Amino acid sequence: MAHEIKLVTEAELRRTVHLDLEAIDCVEEAFAKLATGNVVMPPVLSMALPDVNAEVDVKTAYVPGLEGFALKVSPGFFSNPSLGLPSLNGLMVLLSAKTGLVEAVFLDNGYLTDVRTAAAGAVAARHLAPSNVSTIGILGTGVQARLQLIAAAKVRAVGRALIWGRDTDKASRLAAEMKTALGIDVSACSDPADLVAQSQLVITTTPAREPVLSADWLHPGLHITAMGSDQEDKNELDPKILACADVLVCDRISQCDKLGELRSALKTGALKGTDTVRELGDVISGSAQGRQSEDDITVCDLTGTGVQDTAIATLALGKVKRANAGTTVLA
Amino acid sequence: MAHEIKLVTEAELRRTVHLDLEAIDCVEEAFAKLATGNVVMPPVLSMALPDVNAEVDVKTAYVPGLEGFALKVSPGFFSNPSLGLPSLNGLMVLLSAKTGLVEAVFLDNGYLTDVRTAAAGAVAARHLAPSNVSTIGILGTGVQARLQLIAAAKVRAVGRALIWGRDTDKASRLAAEMKTALGIDVSACSDPADLVAQSQLVITTTPAREPVLSADWLHPGLHITAMGSDQEDKNELDPKILACADVLVCDRISQCDKLGELRSALKTGALKGTDTVRELGDVISGSAQGRQSEDDITVCDLTGTGVQDTAIATLALGKVKRANAGTTVLA
């Protein structure tokens, strides 16, 4: 029996869904539900395709109270840049939580993922960073470097940002772009130790397989969000950092111990177990403590969860409908 | 960067992709590749949603040599009939095996799954049923009862079919419909033991949670394909049947031991292990023996695999393009 399905392209989504406080709030609410509600979130379906230097991840989560639930397909084909194509692509499907019927197909090429990933960074900063963040430091120069900075600047009154990248030119170009976009002082920084020393909030956004941030650089009042690791072989933070932190928070412990910084900390023995690790949703909902003083050192390990996809897809469908955007297909 | 995506509705697919020898051959070839090629097929992502009496399965498989690979979302919302909606729905996405870009979205509401599932039944019959099948017996009266009969009749010169169902009226109505559709003698049979006694090929297509076919009914020369069980709590065949069979074949052992008849046979101890179990692809490719004589009793346990989805989606895209069907979206 044919029913109406909303089909929305990346271009239409970019005009309709933005990295704003509404997106940040909707992701925050999803994390709170993950902590308190009867969320069903199966492990990520991950398919490695070594023959073509690729990997495909599928995430989903059913969040009681939301009208739909998303299923997201994220292909990463890492030889694409040699063909002039981006490595990351994919789409999201929103299904009715009542009937399972397809309600929307977002042909977003990863755009909604970009937004919900950066929004999670802002949620982590909102709940864990010190209240006064005069300088934000960003490690990395990719899409998330840009978006995490934009998102964090929405939850803290930032005066200045520093950007470090292995490629100094890229860091300088991004700094110039962000200076214009945010209207604050943004500059490239050639020494990551110096960047960390000057920052109260540091966000790592790299695909690093060896730590880019040393435990020796920690200082009172620092918050670090590590969002680059989402695979078994990635690692941005010196594992000792997770053991030293006053507060260590994961988006999902059962996922971070396989794909995030938590994995490296457990594997190296820097961390002996997960007893002291908290989940972001618990911190948001108040069932776990976050930062207790401006001097605490806090760390948040983000690997990206299906509830974020369900949250952003639900937000997107509402906005698309109100804007009368997208195409309605009878299928 | 926007690229072309083919969007195809169920109605367009029903006009373009049919349950014919081309579909059967393409599914057979996919099984052969599963046996011989470097196929990547992760375990099914299965999400139970007890709050809404539902379950969502996601299947995928990368088959070297094919231009694309499918990812299929199959929601089963079992309270839908009370809303006048079918329980099963969903869609398939075909991604480029070279770039991961979305090539096609098939808004098929499960139609392609219906076709590839019935096609697998025909492949099993082709390779395992005795060469002379004068009578086919079908247990069940649903969509797959109809399609499995149609598919089997394409690989064996069947003279007659018998249909049994718990609902006698449904069985009679399906028999009348199939008689017209196939132009052979088709009648309802009220006694499943009698149906099995008269048949050389029996296909079970029920959602049974207790066996509907007893080991006492086995006779020389019988082939049974059990395709109803695809969940941990389903069971159509008396577990002893799997132990008695001269040849026992699974579509995928590592899946059937969790979701198929093999699971029940192992759990009850009727079968002590999987040493004697063969895979359908191995039988097709000749690396495992199938039926050795017309008197052998053979059993095939089908749970449905991602390679079938990749095969049928690839076939569908080719046919849709040649027919200039569907809609091309720039996204």
The proportion of chain B whose per-residue pLDDT surpasses 70, expressed as a percent, equals 100
Per-residue pLDDT at B308: 97
Chain A residue at shortest CA distance from B82: A99
For residues A220 and A268, membership in a common domain is answered with yes
What's residue A160's pLDDT?
98
- φ, ψ at A185 (rounded to 5°): -75, 115
**How does residue B1 score in pLDDT terms, banded at 50, 70 and 90?**
low
A14/A143 same-domain check = no
- pLDDT digits over A241-298, tens only? 999 999 999 999 999 999 999 999 999 999 999 999 999 999 999 999 999 999 999 9
Q: Does B239 have pLDDT greater than 80?
A: yes
Confidence of residue A1 (pLDDT cuts 50, 70, 90): low
Same domain? For A196 and A264 the reply is yes
Judge whether B119 and B27 are in contact, CB under 8 Å. yes
Give the SS3 label for residue A253: helix
Mean pLDDT of A230-235: 90
Output the six-digit token pair for B256: 């059937």
Using the Cβ of B331 and the Cβ atoms of chain A, whether some distance falls under 8 Å is answered with yes
Please give the Cα distance from A14 to A157 (Å, whole number).
26
Which band of pLDDT confidence, cut at 50, 70 and 90, is reported for residue B9? very high
What is the pLDDT, as a whole number, of residue A323? 97
Q: Do B54 and A100 touch (CB under 8 A)?
A: yes
Half-sphere exposure of B331 (CA within 13 A, CB side): 30
Residue at token pair 């039988």: B283
- Encoding tokens for residue A19? 């990295």
Best CA proximity match to A146, nearest among A125, A177, A112: A177
The reply to whether residue A49 touches residue B60, judged by beta carbons under 8 angstroms, is no
d(CA B245, CA B220): 10
Q: Based on the fold, state whether residues B147 and B100 are members of the same structural domain.
A: no
Cβ neighbours of A103 (radius 10 Å): 22
Cα three-residue angle B57-B61-B63, rounded to 5 degrees: 165
Alpha carbon of B107: minimum distance to chain A alpha carbons (Å):
6
Rounded Cα gap, residues A268 and A290, in angstroms: 25
Is residue B162 included in any domain, yes or no?
yes
Residue A107: closest CA among A17, A16, A6, A7: A7
Q: Examine the domain organization and report whether A103 and A153 are in the same domain.
A: no
Query: Is there a domain that residue B123 lies in?
Result: no
The mean per-residue pLDDT over the stretch A40-47 comes to: 94
* Region of A64 on the Ramachandran plot (φ > 0 left; ψ -120 to 50 alpha; else beta): beta
Q: Does residue A103 lie within any of the structural domains?
A: yes
Pairing of strands A223-226, A298-301: parallel
Chain A hits for B307, Cβ within 8 Å: none
From the list B45, B100, B101, the residue facing A58 with the nearest CB is B45
Taking the CA atoms of residue B231, residue B236, residue B242 and residue B243 in that order, the dihedral angle to the nearest 10 degrees is 110
Q: Which residues of B touch A40 (CB under 8 A)?
A: 47-49
Distance from CA of B77 to the nearest CA of A (A): 6
Say whether pLDDT at A141 is over 80.
yes
CA distance A299 to chain B (A): 31
Nearest CA in chain B to A98: B52
Confidence check: pLDDT of A2 > 90: no
The reply to whether A45 falls in a domain is yes
Q: Chain B interface, mutation test: which of A6, A33, A88, A95, most B Cβ atoms within 10 Å?
A: A95
Residue B295 CA to residue B101 CA, distance in Å, equals: 50
Between positions 266 and 295 of B, the ones with CB within 8 A of A are none
Q: What does the pLDDT read at residue B37?
A: 78
Number of domains in chain B: 2
**Partner residues linked to B187 by β-bridges:** B162
Pick from B60, B99, B105: which is nearest to A105 by CB? B105
The answer to whether B62 contacts A73, with C-beta atoms less than 8 Å apart, is: no
pLDDT at B2: 82
Q: pLDDT-derived band of residue A207, with 50, 70 and 90 as boundaries? A: very high
Q: Give contacts of B 64-123 with A, CB under 8 A.
A: 64, 71, 73, 75-77, 80, 83, 85-86, 89-91, 93, 95, 97-102, 105, 107, 109
The answer to whether residue A49 is domain-embedded is yes
Rounded to the nearest integer, the mean pLDDT of chain A is 96
CB contact under 8 A, B73 and A71: yes
For residue B107, what are the β-bridge partners?
B9
Beta-carbon contacts of A294 under 8 Å, excluding residues fewer than 6 positions away, are A130, A131, A132, A221
Contacts of A251 (CB under 8 A, 6+ apart): A31, A120, A260, A279, A280, A300, A301, A302, A303, A304, A305
Boundaries of domain holding A296 = 129-304
C-alpha–C-alpha distance, residues B14 and A241, integer Å:
58
B291 and B320: one domain?
no
Contact A1 B107 (CB under 8 A): no
Q: How many CB pairs under 8 A join A and B?
A: 138
Taking the mean position of all CA atoms in its chain, how far away is CA A242? 18
d(CA A311, CA A324): 20
Q: What is the pLDDT of residues B128-184, one digit of tens each?
A: 999 999 999 999 999 999 999 999 999 999 999 999 999 999 999 999 999 999 999
Examine the domain organization and report whether B49 and B160 are in the same domain. no
Put simply, the answer to whether A98 touches B107 (Cβ < 8 Å) is no
Residues A94 and A135 in one domain: no
Over the stretch A80-134, which tens digit does the pLDDT of each residue have?
A: 999 999 999 999 999 999 999 999 999 999 999 999 999 999 999 999 999 999 9
pLDDT of residue A324: 96
CB contact under 8 A, A48 and B40: yes
In the chain, the amino acid numbered A159 is G
Token pair 């978006």: residue? A147
B83, closest residue in chain A (CA to CA)? A99
For residue A130, give the nearest of A156, A149, A163 by alpha carbon: A156
Q: Can you read off the two tokens belonging to residue B93?
A: 């996405």
CB B275 within 8 A of CB B262: no
User: Is residue B124, in this structure, part of any structural domain at all?
Assistant: no
Cβ atoms of B193 and B200 within 8 Å: the answer is no
Interface of A with B in 22-51 (CB under 8 A): 38, 40, 42-43, 45-49, 51
Average pLDDT score over residue span B22-32: 97
Average pLDDT, integer, range A199-203: 98
Q: Which of B47, B75, B77 sits opposite A42 (nearest CB)?
A: B47
DSSP string, A266-313: HHTTSS--STT-EEHHHHHHTSS----STT--EEEE----HHHHHHHH
Residue B154 lies in a domain: yes
Q: How confident is the model at residue A68 (pLDDT cuts 50, 70, 90)?
A: very high
Give tens-digit pLDDT for B71-116. Answer: 999 999 999 999 999 999 999 999 999 999 999 999 999 999 999 9
CATH number for A318: 3.30.1780.10
| Nearest to B241, CA basis, from B279, B211, B210 | B211
CATH (domain of A284): 3.40.50.720
Domain co-membership, A16 together with A48: yes
Which residue in the set A9, A49, A329 is minimally distant from B331, CB to CB?
A9
Q: Which three-class secondary structure state does DSSP give residue A213?
A: strand
pLDDT value of residue B231: 85
Give how far B306 is from chain A: nearest CA, Å.
12
Touching check for B2 and chain A: CB below 8 Å? Answer: yes
Give me the mean pLDDT over the A217-231 stretch.
95
The radius of gyration of chain A from alpha carbons, rounded to an integer in Å, stands at 19
- CA–centroid distance for B128 within its chain: 15
Please tell me the distance in Å from B248's CA to the nearest CA on chain A: 29
Q: Which of residues 189-248 of A touch B (CB under 8 A)?
A: none
Q: Is the pLDDT of residue B67 over 90?
A: yes
Residues A283 and A248 in one domain: yes
B178 & B266 share domain: yes
d(Cα B174, Cα B303) in Å, to the nearest integer? 24
Q: Is residue B122 part of a domain?
A: no
Same domain (yes/no): B247, B136: yes
Query: What is the distance of C-alpha A68 from the center of its chain?
Result: 21
